[in-house]
Structure 1
Amino acid sequence: MKKVLGVAAAALTAVVSFASPASAADHTKHMHTGDAYGSVTGWSGEGVFTEEGDRVHICDTDADGRGVAIYVYKGTPDTGNVLYSMQVGGEGNCVTKSAADGGVYNLPESRVGFKFCRYWVADKIIHTGECKDYDFLNDNS
């Protein structure tokens, strides 16, 4: 009987350890500024949305004099409403917001959209370009 219970416990442990990483991977979405032109070499910024905790993380990855900006929507970028935006500039700099920050950062459990862009400042005005739209079902399941 002890041998049967030992085998059952080992099998259950194996199932849990194999299922968890796959589940987590399915709920993390990656975004890149170069995607606007289909370029995998022209990235100047990276973004990651993780459903668990509604974590939105963006980084400037190129010393090109431009930063990156993200606009977060309830719904899609085409039809939704902007909940908040973030910007960061300077190669290696990053910014993160999550549900733990409260308010608008606690995203709805529905379709959420992102407009991820490069940005620059000219004459004290923020300009955006090379934007790519993304949308995901934030079902956290």
Structure 2
Amino acid sequence: MKSHRGIRAAVALSSGVLAVLAFQGTASAAPVPPGDGWDHVWSGASGDFKVYVEEHGDLISACDTKADGKTPTVWVGPGTGETTRYSFRVTGGSGSCVSKSASLGGVYNLPEGQKFTVTACSYGCGAWPFVNDH
């Protein structure tokens, strides 16, 4: 006669895996925060995206937070209504995030002490200024 111990272990293991998968499916989109937390976090008025800014390292992340078929787009520029320094899109649907930082060089390395505006649009738009002071 075979032992039921192995069968019980297999059932317990598969139940645990299913519980983890179910939990992961309900997690919200968010990039890993820096050690001291984000300097700025903004949300779209419709709850369709979030934008995260860490001034140290010029890290700007955006996440699609709503399954609405829209693709959030982010523009980073020197102040409101001025030329765009760079832009990026969050593709991949709800739960997807995209990040840009000074480590990429060029336009992503934001000068210190200057005012920048992050503008993001999906269903609606928002614009948020910040001074890159560290």
TM-score w.r.t. the length of structure 1 is 0.64
Match of 1:32 among 19, 43, 58: 43
Match of 1:97 among 96, 100, 111: 100
Query: Paired residues, what number?
Result: 97
Match of 2:64 among 60, 67, 78: 60
Superposition pairs of residues 41-120 of structure 1, within 5 angstroms:
42-74=46-78, 76-78=79-81, 80-89=82-91, 90-109=93-112, 110-118=114-122
Match of 1:9 in 2: none
Runs (4+) of structure 1 moved beyond 3 Å? none
RMSD (Å), alpha carbons: 1.4
Q: Verify the 8 A CA contact 1:31 1:116 in the aligned structure 2.
A: no
Q: Deviations over 1:23-43 (max 9, x none)?
A: x45x61111111xxxxxxx30
TM-score w.r.t. the length of structure 2 is 0.68
Secondary structure of the residue aligned to 2:84 is strand
Identity of aligned residues (%): 34
Superposition pairs of residues 4-43 of structure 1, within 5 angstroms:
24=36, 28-34=39-45, 42-43=46-47
Match of 2:130 in 1: 136
Q: Verify the 8 A CA contact 1:31 1:47 in the aligned structure 2.
A: yes
Structure 2 counterpart of 1:105, one-letter code:
Y
Instruction: Name structure 2 gaps, 5 residues minimum.
Output: 1-35
